């Protein structure tokens, strides 16, 4: 029998799955966007124009919050170096997902079979966005006009709501807040059927800097305990 995941591991597993589902730079074309469907289609169509990016990220899930610096390289390389919790790392090199939890002295490893289209990494690609469009219906929250990101904020965004088309999807709704100036996703808020919210804030984007593949090679401390194939543990 495989080792049971602790509650902390289970929450992180869910957050990691959500990260792979969402984390990508979404570049939108301002030309000819009239409907929510065409707005979202622009996201999918133009995703591949971003070769790589870095950004600061804040994550909120239930009573937990995390923050760090994210690096992404097309099509599926991802790394987050956290400042909260300090020294925590999530890294995906295209074949292996590694999560280092310094507080638990644990290393979570998950091998990914690139021969299948049903893995988390593929959801962070243009194909993944296509799947998202297939299983969720887009609509504007209040229309195309930009509104304040938060009450009293000077930062303006256009809000798009994606609603699931069937009961099997993990989230009831996914809210995308898009900056009309940079045409990048500023915030994602995903709500589960149990009304749990997962929020991802992206700030200080730097695009197409030619990030090396070496950035996504991570050697965790050898003193930590290893948990392999944790996404499928029972």
pLDDT digits (tens, 9 = 90+) for 25-65: 554 444 444 688 887 777 666 666 888 989 999 999 878 89
pLDDT (tens digit per residue) in 96-108? 889 999 999 999 9
- pTM of the complete model beyond 0.75: yes
Within 8 A by CB and 6+ apart from 100, the residues are 87, 88, 89, 106, 107, 108, 218, 220, 221, 224
Domains of the chain: 7-229 (2.50.20.10)
Between CA 42 and CA 124 the distance in angstroms is 16
């Amino acid at each position: 029998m495989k080792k049971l995941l602790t509650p902390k591991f289970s929450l992180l597993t869910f957050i990691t799955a959500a990260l792979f589902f969402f984390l990508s730079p979404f570049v939108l074309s301002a030309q000819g966007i009239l409907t929510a469907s065409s707005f979202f289609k622009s996201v999918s169509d133009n995703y591949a124009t971003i070769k790589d990016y870095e950004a600061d990220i804040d994550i909120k899930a239930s009573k937990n919050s995390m923050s760090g610096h994210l690096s992404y390289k097309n099509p599926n390389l991802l790394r987050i170096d956290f400042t909260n919790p300090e020294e925590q790392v999530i890294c995906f090199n295209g074949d292996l997902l590694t999560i280092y939890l310094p507080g638990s002295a644990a290393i979570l490893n998950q091998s990914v079979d690139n021969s299948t289209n049903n893995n988390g990494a593929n959801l962070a690609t243009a194909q993944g966005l296509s799947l998202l469009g297939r299983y969720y219906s887009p609509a504007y929250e209040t229309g195309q006009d930009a509104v304040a990101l938060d009450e009293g904020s000077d930062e303006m965004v256009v809000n798009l709501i994606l609603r699931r088309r069937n009961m099997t999807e993990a989230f009831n709704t996914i809210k995308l807040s898009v900056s009309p100036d940079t045409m990048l996703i500023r915030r994602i808020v995903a709500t589960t059927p149990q009304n749990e919210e997962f929020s991802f804030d992206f700030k200080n984007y730097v695009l197409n800097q030619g990030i090396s593949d070496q950035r996504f090679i991570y050697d965790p401390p050898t003193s930590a305990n290893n948990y392999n194939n944790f996404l499928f543990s029972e």
